[in-house]
Amino acid sequence: MQLNPKQLEAKNHIDWPLLIIAWAWSWKTATLTQRVQYMIEEKWIHPSEILAVTFTNKAAKEMRERIGKNLGIEIGNNPYRTRGLPFIGTFHGMGIFFLKETMNRFADDENLNIGIKKDFIIYDASDSLSIIKWIAKEMNMDEKEYPSRKIQSYISNAKSKLYTPASYQATVDNHFKEVVADIYVRYQKKLSENNALDFDDILVKTLDILKHHKVLEYYHDKYKYIMIDEYQDTNKPQYEIVKHLASKYKNLAVVGDDWQSIYSWRWADMTNIINFKKDYPNAVVVKLEQNYRSTKSIIDAANQVIKNNVNSLKKELWTDNEVGEKITYIEAPDDRSEAKIIVDEIKEKFEKENSKYSDNLILYRTNGQSRNFEEALMLKGIPYRVVWSLKFYDRKEIKDMLAYLKVLYNKDDVVGFKRIINVPSRKIGAKSVSVIDMMRNDFWLDYLQIIENIDEVDDLRSNAKTALKWFLQIYLNLQNASKTMVVSELIWEIVKQTDYEQYLKDGFTKEEMEAKLDNIEEFKNVASNYNGMDPRESLWLFLEEIALITDLDREEKFDDMVTLMTIHNSKGLEEKRVFIAGCEEGIFPHMRTINNESELEEERRLMYVAMTRAENELYIARARERFYFWDYVRNPESRFIKEIPSEFIQNHSYDSLLNDNKGKSFFDSYSPQASMEAWAWVRVLKPKVNNDVTVFNMGDKIEHHKFGNGIITSLNWELAEIAFPWVGMKKMNIRIAPVKKV
DNA sequence: TCGCTTTGATTGTGT
DNA sequence: ATCAAAGCGA
């Protein structure tokens, strides 16, 4: 495509710090891609001298493919080592690559103590949580008083602010932080004993190696041209990494838009982009402020919403495009009809306007909202795909396989050992594990060494020892296999050696078992990307992919399908028709943000991102009532809807459905109880049971699922007073209460 | 001491 | 609904 003057300026500006403010749909990606191509083809810069960092793997992959296509290069299965292509990856992918490379290249330099061995593995959030729970147990801590998740988040925050365990001490100003500081020390010790890095460590350690003069010098000369995308979402370690890498040549181009900063909860700091001019006073600033994608209505409405944010630079996205349709507002009676209305609309457009299914993007705030849509789409036989972030790798069978792979790659991975030592069950219980743990602490041996010498241990009975030897044999067999088999074959070998199929058969229903086997099969398919490599390298690359890439890159069955994802996932995407579902207080903005002004502003930026994903047609939907948290809630309309001036909005004509709900219903008569604290929305109980009231009489014995047995002491049609021996008198509506006669 | 049953928490976004 | 931790029996 032809670039406009601003885009040309961004493209042709190479040898100088450059800040590109690229607003939604300003053809940012095209500009960046052409910029790289221009550097290579016209400026004769060698591709290997260019380093491009993106925020997600999806974006990295897309850019690799686009640039590869433009340059006529086939992309191999190791994305970082494609000849003739720049390094294009995420900060985390780059960090791991640098760390491994540095450990090889500077192996002899004893000044360089990274505190980790070459075969390190990456711990995901749940692994790191396991470690914190492990520590908490050792310290006899009360989970209620010191929730491990909260501790995890504090530690992660500390790392993102570049506090070491030692320097964190100085920031302690309350008891909880004092405890965190203590755990932080132990946590880092365990990580290094397990030869593992968590996500934050990847960045922190990368920065650490760049502080070594020799290493920095090496990377300075290796990557002379640096490009950082989504710069508004960088955190402190990332910011420092960039600063170090660019400090010599300063051929640094950063791209971003503070309005699209939606990751502050991961400690992204958008002042990094706002202060770029201060960091690099001679930087050139290019603003790509023309939107080429959306209609005027959509742009103007999005501008109106984002204007409600106080903490933002005043600016306005504009477009030359036509005014277009108004935004359609769907007010559904409940969450299932919200999905049904949207799916009906998709179907209707498909049939009447010859629109493709793939023109539709359904966005929501939380992953849990996808279910209704999936059901409605399935019911209509419409092909769809859900872009999930975690779901697949969170499954038990996948985690089990992954744990086996991790301990095979890294025998120091105690978290992995603990997970698999008794899966499938080998009658190795908590006692055996704790004995091994003790031995490990006392004698500085690893798990395998202890099990190998288990006969020397007096504290265990002989059947426990037999079980451990059995496990050892399986491990050794697999370890042998891992020397010759690539990772996909190794997965099958694990299933075989552990008799995992039998384990699934015994412990689960037939359907569950088959689903789990299917998942393992799919897992193996992903692994088969690394067939034909050196076995150990294939194992590592697969582990790295699993650790960093969240969504499964699976073969799609259909070409034409509807896409569903969270708004966070949609950044950088576009579609002709976009539906933003669940626009209710408590959902979007999310309940956890409502009492915090800056978090609320981030939610609003999220709304801005969601709205600007749409090209021609934008739908905003809410449900009056929703099944959420395993209960029914009624949330008020999202404030973001109110912030869109009414001239931009047309109502969707589903009045008949709405009228159904307007008659006097249970909900209108029930007095809703406003909840306390942050639960600032209205919550109403909906009958899950519907008892026949006439069967109950005064004096009847009843059973309540929570309160146990009781006696009805008064009864006025539906309203009963019931005496429970343990909890006393309760008033309840006997029609909807979970009670039955006994 | 292990394994099954009950209880209690869990879901906000994701590298 | 689902899963991990705690509770309890063989």
Q: Can you give the CATH number for the domain in which A480 is found?
A: 1.10.486.10
In this structure, what token pair is assigned to residue A243?
């600063």
- Which residue's CA lies closest to nucleotide B14 at its C1' atom? A389
Q: Do A303 and A177 have their domain in common?
A: no
Share of chain A above pLDDT 70, in %: 87
Closest nucleotide relative to residue A90's CA, C1' based: B15
pLDDT at residue A555, rounded to an integer: 54
Q: Does strand B come within 7 Å of the CB of A592?
A: yes
Window from A77-81, A511-515, A575-579 with minimum mean pLDDT: A77-81
Q: Evaluate whether residue A264 is within a structural domain.
A: yes
User: How far apart (Å, rounded) are the C-alpha atoms in residues A277 and A57?
Assistant: 28
- Taking the CA of residue A69 and the C1' sugar atom of nucleotide B12, their distance in angstroms comes to 37
Cβ contact A198:A224 at 8 Å: no
Q: Do A19 and A101 have their domain in common?
A: yes
CATH number of the domain to which A142 belongs: 1.10.10.160
Q: Do A511 and A591 have their domain in common?
A: no
Number of domains, chain A: 5
In this structure, what token pair is assigned to residue A564?
């569903």
A614-624 pLDDT per residue, tens: 989 999 999 98
CA-CA distances (angstroms) from residue A403 to A153, A184, A303, A410, A435?
A: 23, 24, 47, 10, 21
Whether the per-residue pLDDT at A528 is higher than 60: the answer is: yes
Cβ contact A383:A560 at 8 Å: yes
pTM of the predicted model as reported, rounded to 2 decimal places: 0.83
Residue A350: domain span: 299-389+556-652
CATH number of the domain to which A700 belongs: 2.40.10
- End-of-domain residue from the set A290, A314, A332: A290
User: How far apart (Å, rounded) are the C-alpha atoms in residues A239 and A256?
Assistant: 13
Q: Evaluate whether residue A233 is within a structural domain.
A: yes
pLDDT at residue A365, rounded to an integer: 93
Share of chain A above pLDDT 90, in %: 30
Catalytic residues of A: 28-29, 229-230, 260, 613
Q: Do A408 and A500 have their domain in common?
A: yes
pLDDT class of A79 with cuts at 50, 70, 90: low
pLDDT class of A672 with cuts at 50, 70, 90: very low
- Which string of DSSP letters, residue by residue, matches A549-589? --S--PPPS-SS-EEEEEHHHHTT--EEEEEE---BTBTTT
When comparing pLDDT for A599 and A728, which is higher? A599
Q: Do A570 and A706 have their domain in common?
A: no
**Mean pLDDT of all residues belonging to chain A:** 82
pLDDT class of A329 with cuts at 50, 70, 90: very high
- End-of-domain residue from the set A171, A194, A217: A194
User: Is the previous residue joined to A725 through a cis bond, with omega within 30 degrees of 0?
Assistant: no
- End-of-domain residue from the set A599, A621, A652: A652
In this structure, what token pair is assigned to residue A387?
């872009």
User: What is the rounded average pLDDT of the residues A314-342?
Assistant: 83
pLDDT at residue A239, rounded to an integer: 96
CA-CA distances (angstroms) from residue A204 to A57, A199, A244, A489, A572?
A: 20, 9, 13, 34, 27
Whether the per-residue pLDDT at A700 is higher than 90: the answer is: no
Nucleotides of B under 7 A from a protein CB: 1-3, 9-15
When comparing pLDDT for A734 and A397, which is higher? A397
- Taking the CA of residue A705 and the C1' sugar atom of nucleotide B6, their distance in angstroms comes to 14
Token pair 């890439």 is at which residue?
A549
Q: Do A590 and A704 have their domain in common?
A: no
pLDDT at residue A673, rounded to an integer: 30
Window from A213-222, A376-385, A724-733 with minimum mean pLDDT: A724-733
User: How far apart (Å, rounded) are the C-alpha atoms in residues A291 and A327?
Assistant: 18
When comparing pLDDT for A230 and A61, which is higher? A230
Window from A149-153, A238-242, A310-314, A710-714 with minimum mean pLDDT: A310-314
Q: Evaluate whether residue A675 is within a structural domain.
A: no
In this structure, what token pair is assigned to residue A129?
């949580």
Cβ contact A599:A396 at 8 Å: no
In this structure, what token pair is assigned to residue A732?
């309840």
pLDDT class of A679 with cuts at 50, 70, 90: very low
Q: Evaluate whether residue A659 is within a structural domain.
A: no
Q: Do A401 and A383 have their domain in common?
A: no
Q: Do A140 and A283 have their domain in common?
A: no
Q: Which residues contact A174 (CB under 8 A, 6 or more apart)?
A: none
Residues 617-646 of A with CB under 7 A from strand B: 629-630
How does A381-411 read in b/e, with b if 16+ C-beta sit within 10 Å?
ebebbbbbeeebbebebbbbbbbbbbbbbbb
CATH number of the domain to which A334 belongs: 3.40.50.300
Q: Evaluate whether residue A166 is within a structural domain.
A: yes
Q: Do A408 and A542 have their domain in common?
A: yes
Q: Does strand C come within 7 Å of the CB of A143?
A: yes
Whether the per-residue pLDDT at A313 is higher than 70: the answer is: no
Query: Are β-strands A701-704 and A708-716 bridged in parallel, bridged antiparallel, or unpaired?
Result: antiparallel
Whether the per-residue pLDDT at A246 is higher than 90: the answer is: yes
- Taking the CA of residue A493 and the C1' sugar atom of nucleotide B3, their distance in angstroms comes to 27
Q: Do A228 and A93 have their domain in common?
A: yes
